[in-house]
A and B are shown apart, each in its own frame.
Chain A
Amino acid sequence: MLYYRPVPRNRSAGSCWSIAQLGWALAFAAGVGAATFFVVNYQLSLPLRAAAAMLAIAPGVGYIVAMVRDVRRLDELQQRIYLEAVSVACAGTFLFTLLYPTLRRAGLAPEMSPTPVALVIVALASVSYLVAKRRFE
């Protein structure tokens, strides 16, 4: 009988998405909407404007905590796939944000708010996740 010390592994091989993560994402979206509503429609003092911003920041932190917890629940292969997807998303978004001013000055990109950057991250992460997952099927 081989002797070895079993490595505690309480991973349930779960999904990278959970109800908690979705709930925090919805709370974040609601918080952004509420903060925008109050800031746009009311003349608020600085402390109240900061409090309004916290309506979105607090659930945003909750989302990050839930996401990290879900990632820790993944098994080793799922974490590897997730890492590849996040790496591509981060690198691609990093290059996009650096390149955007040049494209803007060259007239090759329209004026954009920061919101599309979030969409770029999601799109890159989704595509690279599917590609990485396919490699191991």
Chain B
Amino acid sequence: MKNRLRVLRAERAWSQAELAARLGVSRQTVNAVETSKYDPSLPLAFDIARLFGRRIEEIFDPSEDGTTGAS
């Protein structure tokens, strides 16, 4: 699933490791979400949205599904 996670992270000048630490996940997970290779679970998606102060729909875009490994 396409998402704006990388853009939002860059706006705050966070590294993937920093974002991962804030979300309580591994850097690998952050990278996989950013590259659309993994769709986060609903709790993680809500945590991401809350962290960036956005709605989930503003971060994740299901209309262009480029996922290759989430299901």
Contact = CB atoms under 8 A, between A and B. Distances in A.
A62 to B, nearest CB: 26
A69 interface: no
Interface of B: 20, 24-26, 28-29, 31-32, 37-38, 40-41, 43-44, 46-47, 49-50, 55, 68-69
B69 A75 contact: no
B37 A13 contact: no
Contact of A136 (B20, B37, B47): B37
A2 B41 CA distance: 17
Given A13-B20, A135-B68, 7 more contacts: A7-B46, A76-B44, A77-B29, A77-B32, A78-B26, A135-B37, A136-B32
A74 B25 CA distance: 8
Contacts of B68: 135
Chain A interface size, as a band, is: 10 to 19
A9 interface: yes
A71 to B, nearest CB: 14
A115 B1 CA distance: 44
Contacts of A12: 24
- Most A C-beta atoms less than 10 A away, residue of B25, B47, B68: B25
Contacts of A4: 46
Contacts of B37: 135-137
A9 B24 contact: yes
Ordered nearest first, which 3 A-B pairs have the shortest CB separation? Answer: A7-B43, A13-B26, A75-B25
Interface string A67-107: 00000001111100000000000000000000000000000
A11 B38 contact: no
B37 to A, nearest CB: 5
B43 A75 contact: no
